[in-house]
């Protein structure tokens, strides 16, 4: 018999994470992890959050699939795939706590600062920059289950509009999570407990994703930017505390 108190906690984390992720396009693990990391070790919580986040990100990607700039997304993805490999190896061998705290502080400070500044004017991108951002996003994602944070910050710094940002970041997040899960399964596999927990969270994931995507369609660019920065601020603080 399942522990119903844990199921309730898991469902709450899954619903909250999928709601924010459906709305902002990322941060499932930051929101869900604020709950799950109090009751599960990172080596179990991170793969579980990746598995739960994947269907949410796939749904978000399908909602904007016609707008995806595949050339730019492939550059991000190529760099990210390189970054995920050492991150997954490190996750299982070292204490990643200091790294999470440092990255969380950086994200929180950036978001708090930018909340009080106007949006940047759109600027051109370069192939080298896209690949470097992808590399950093893959490395960070493998260590924190938050691959979308760095590309999202990069889009905000360049003044990328709402739909273009979403269409660029979603394929990157989906690919990073799929690749990280494959690496984890090839090394140690996913325990039956993780698979069971992911299955139990499906109803909450579906409800949260539907609600988040519905809210996303109603946001204007300025409001969306504030939601994204607020989510980044929360994500950074959860990594720190």
Q: How far is CA 230 from CA 94, 183, 186, 188, 237, in A?
A: 30, 32, 36, 36, 11
Are the CB atoms for 227 and 24 separated by under 8 Å?
Answer: yes
Q: Which residue has the higher pLDDT, 165 or 69?
A: 165
HSE, CB side, 13 Å, CA atoms: give it for residue 205. Answer: 24
pLDDT of residue 34: 83
pLDDT in tens, 131-170: 999 999 998 887 877 888 899 998 888 888 888 888 888 8
> Residues 219, 223, 229, 234: what is their CA dihedral angle, to the nearest 10 degrees?
-70
> Residues 72, 76, 79, 80: what is their CA dihedral angle, to the nearest 10 degrees?
-160
pLDDT of residue 1: 45
Query: How does DSSP classify residue 121?
Result: P
Is pLDDT of 51 > 80? Answer: yes
3-class SS of residue 219: coil
Q: Give 113: exposed, middle or buried? Use CB within 10 Å, 0-12, 13-18, 19+.
A: exposed
Q: What is the mean pLDDT of residues 207-231?
A: 92
d(CA 176, CA 58): 12
Q: What is the pTM of this model?
A: 0.83
pLDDT of residue 207: 96
> What percent of the chain has a predicted confidence (pLDDT) above 90?
27
pLDDT in tens, 74-117: 889 999 999 988 887 887 777 777 888 888 898 999 999 888 88
The per-residue pLDDT of the chain, averaged, comes to 85
pLDDT in tens, 21-48: 999 888 888 888 888 888 888 778 878 8
pLDDT of residue 160: 85
pLDDT of residue 158: 86
pLDDT of residue 190: 65
**Segments making up each domain of the chain, as ranges:** 4-240
pLDDT of residue 48: 87
Most confident range (mean pLDDT) of 55-69, 74-88, 89-103, 181-195 is 74-88
Q: What is the mean pLDDT of residues 171-178?
A: 88
Q: What is the mean pLDDT of residues 1-18?
A: 86
Q: Which residue has the higher pLDDT, 234 or 68?
A: 234
Going by C-alpha positions, the residue among 47, 17, 10, 42 that lies closest to residue 32 is 17
Radius of gyration, CA atoms only, the chain: 17
Q: What angle do CA 51, 77, 13 make, to 5 degrees?
A: 25
Range list of H helices, 37-161: 42-63, 70-91, 97-114, 127-144, 149-157
Cα-Cα end-to-end distance for the chain = 33
Q: What is the mean pLDDT of residues 50-77?
A: 84
């Amino acid at each position: 018999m399942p522990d119903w108190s844990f199921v309730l906690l898991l469902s709450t984390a899954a619903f909250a994470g999928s709601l924010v992720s459906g709305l902002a396009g990322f941060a499932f693990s930051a929101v869900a992890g604020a709950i799950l990391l109090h009751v599960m070790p990172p080596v179990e919580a991170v793969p579980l959050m990746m598995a739960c986040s994947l269907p949410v990100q796939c749904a978000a990607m399908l909602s904007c699939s016609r707008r995806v700039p595949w050339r730019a997304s492939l550059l991000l993805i190529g760099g990210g795939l390189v970054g995920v490999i050492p991150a997954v190896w490190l996750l299982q061998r070292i204490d990643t706590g200091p790294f999470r705290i440092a990255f969380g502080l950086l994200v929180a400070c950036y978001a708090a600062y930018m909340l009080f500044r106007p949006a940047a004017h759109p600027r051109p991108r370069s192939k080298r920059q896209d690949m470097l951002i992808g590399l950093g996003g893959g490395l960070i994602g493998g260590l924190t289950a938050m691959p979308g944070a760095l590309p999202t910050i990069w889009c905000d710094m360049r003044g990328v509009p709402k739909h273009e940002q979403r269409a660029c970041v979603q394929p990157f997040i989906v690919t990073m999570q799929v690749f990280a899960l494959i690496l984890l399964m090839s090394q140690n596999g996913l325990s039956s407990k993780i698979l069971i927990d992911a299955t139990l969270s499906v109803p909450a994931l579906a409800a949260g994703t539907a609600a988040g995507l519905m809210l996303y369609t109603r946001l204007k660019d300025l409001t969306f930017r504030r939601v994204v920065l607020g989510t980044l601020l929360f994500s950074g603080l959860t990594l720190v505390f």
